[in-house]
Amino acid sequence: MEIEAESERARQREQEKRLCEASLSGCVDTLNARERRLYEASLSGCVDTLNALIQEDELILDRVSVTCFHDTPLHIAAMRGHLDFTRALLSRKPKLATELDSLGRSPLHLAAIEGYVDIVRALLHTSTPSGEDMCLVRDHDGRTPLCLAVMKGRVEVIKELIRERPESIRETVDHGDTILHLCVHHNQLEALKLLVESAGDEEFVNSKDENGNTILHVATILKREEILKYLLSETAFKKNANVLNGNGFTALDVLEQCPRDLKGTEVRVMLLQVGVSKTLQPPRPEPEKTENTTTRTSRRQQMVSKIETFLQIDPGWLEQAHGNFLMAATLTATVAFQAGINPPGGFWQDTKDNHMAGKSVLASVESDKLAIFFRYNSFSFGISLSIILLMISGLSFTKNKLYTYALSIAMGITVLLLATSYMSSLDMILPTSKGHNRNGMYTFFSSFWAVELLVVIQTFRFLRGKVAIIKKLKARRANRSENRV
């Protein structure tokens, strides 16, 4: 909603600017001849015409302040980038630098948003009669010249403004946003880098808007990948990466509430790599213990509690698993691809009656075993590619736990297929002379995998059954306590 409101305000400002320029000729028609020539000179930047008009009428610059036209000649010159004309006006009437147009903008606002560094410098070095600091003047939208320069990414103008008034960096804008939030909203990375370096304050760079969002939250919501790479590379942001917003969400939490797409997947991987996690589930309220139950607490109950704590699942495991699956599938696909285009045994270097150059050596020697190798390797490659495509698809069912379990099984099958293709390649390339017992090696390798899988599966079954028994015992004890009460 905030982004849509900001876009609507930007469209209104552009429309008002066009109407203002379009109405210039109509408003000029109501002026006298000299004033009309002055505005025409400000549009073209003709200093000679300005000097001639001042010689004819010394009060002409004073009269333009009371005309129906909201933009002074200095506004027009600053907006059109006429440096010499601007200097000529400031030397004769410095007070023009403090005049505001219909949008509440000074000439400094217009020069800043257009990126005219020399004009900005000339306006900053002008001493106004009232001593008013134009760097801190806000337009009707609450924007200072620095805000407008940041929104357009005018880096050189930003340097001049913060050199003149360093404290202007800390001025807040719409909805409690800092100047850094504006950089992220308008995707101005270079301006953000400059302001972060200039501020040099960890507390300020991690400031929150009225919703409690830091610029890391905002960059995550808007999926600004380049800005996120920069933020997560800076120590000041990295060590505060798990900060919570006003709703108690981390950056990873707010990403989960956004529509899933390829950018979102890449952002999720970036956040997980630097240790950003989801907020922990609130602890369940423990049942009120009576004096009798407290006295009956035994070592067995304490051990049960420790086991449950050890087996407790991290609430963020699902997101971490997705990132791990994507990296693992990419790795297995790379390995399978390399094995496919570089099969064991190499290639023939020459062409003869029974073989051709560039063909696999083992294809003409042990074609059956090579076919087995390619079969397992191709299956592994195909499953890996399927996992990658599913992970980057952004489909809604990819958040399902059952889907994650299926992916883990698929990854296990992929690894087993790679192991099998590895064994088949050894069968083809190792010698069969005395002293090389291939059957013993295969038996050891196969037994190792079988025993490992058996131990893992049985361990998980045992722990799962133990946890189920523990939960049943706790439920029975809780029911007995309630019945006694």
Confidence band for 290, pLDDT divided at 50, 70 and 90: very low
Share the mean pLDDT of the chain. 76
**Residue where the block lists tokens 């108690």:** 248
Average pLDDT score over residue span 109-114:
94
Residue 64 tokens, joined: 């333009």
**Would you kindly state where each structural domain of the chain is located, as residue ranges?**
2-171, 317-484
- Mean pLDDT value of segment 300-324: 57
C-alpha span between 304 and 286 (Å, rounded): 15
Rounded-to-integer distance, Cα 34 and Cα 39, Å? 9
What pLDDT, on the 0 to 100 scale, is given for residue 289?
A: 46
What are 245-289's pLDDT values in tens digits?
A: 888 888 888 888 888 888 888 888 888 888 888 774 444 444 444
Q: Yes or no: say if 206 and 240 are a contact pair by the CB < 8 Å rule.
A: yes
**In this predicted structure, what is the pLDDT of residue 106?**
92
Q: Give Cα 308 distance to the centre of its chain.
A: 36
Structure tokens at 385: 């590619």
The label of the residue with tokens 């294809």 reads 363
Residues recorded for the chain? 485
Give the pLDDT band (50/70/90) at residue 438.
low
According to DSSP, residue 436 is labeled -
**How many CB atoms are closer than 10 A to CB 286?**
6
Q: Convert the pLDDT of each residue in 18-65 to its tens digit.
A: 545 544 444 444 457 888 888 888 899 899 998 888 888 888 888 776
| Residue 10: per-residue pLDDT | 59
Residue 6 and residue 151: Cα distance in Å, rounded?
11
Phi, psi of 129 (to 5 degrees): -55, -35
Give the CATH fold of the 2-171 domain: 1.25.40
Q: Measure the CA–CA gap between 92 and 54, rounded to whole angstroms.
A: 9
Is pLDDT of 178 > 70? Answer: yes
Rg of the chain, C-alpha, whole Å: 36
Give the span between the Cα atoms of 360 and 348, in whole angstroms.
6
Q: Say how far apart CA 127 and CA 129 lie, in whole Å.
A: 7
Read off the pLDDT of residues 123-132 as tens digits, 9 standing for 90 and up. Answer: 998 876 655 6
Confidence grade of residue 121 (pLDDT, cut at 50, 70, 90): very high
Predicted local distance difference test score (pLDDT) of residue 15: 58
